[in-house]
Amino acid sequence: MLAASRLGDPWSYGVIGLLIFILDFTVSRILLPISLFSFLIELSAQTFVKRKAKRMRPFKALPDEIRMLVKPLDEFSFPSGHAAAAFIMATVLRHFYPQFGIPFYLGASTIGVSRVYNGVHYPSDVLFGCALGIGSAHLGLYLFA
């Protein structure tokens, strides 16, 4: 679960973008702008909601019951940025490579579950993050694809 959580860190999406740029340049010319726009929308919304909600992370709210297994990237838990980012990538990649839709979404779901398992998010943080990611991706696809 630690590795799954780390696969949701920002560096991994840069690696994915670089691989697609190298392996499928034609698709990368449209996939990369869609992804970047979607991430910009998601990050703006996520930052706004986190600052408004100020939801304490589970390991801080319930220190006797929940242990933090991975260091979070910021202070608040709602919504899960890792889940949102994972579902942006799964949604955008599925659009261009529909034959791999199930593995993309299974990977994104694993990242989301790992955030709960590792004590840094509540299930509702992850569910809202999933919806935010899918919505941001669909907006990017609608505007650019």
Q: Is the pTM of this model over 0.85?
A: yes
pLDDT tens per residue across all 145 residues of the chain: 888 888 888 889 999 999 999 999 999 999 999 999 999 999 999 999 999 999 999 999 998 889 888 888 888 999 999 999 999 999 999 999 999 999 999 999 999 999 999 999 999 999 999 999 999 999 999 998 7
pLDDT (0 to 100) of residue 73: 83
CA angle 61, 62, 68 (to 5 degrees): 90
pLDDT (0 to 100) of residue 94: 97
Alpha-carbon distance 45 to 52, whole Å? 11
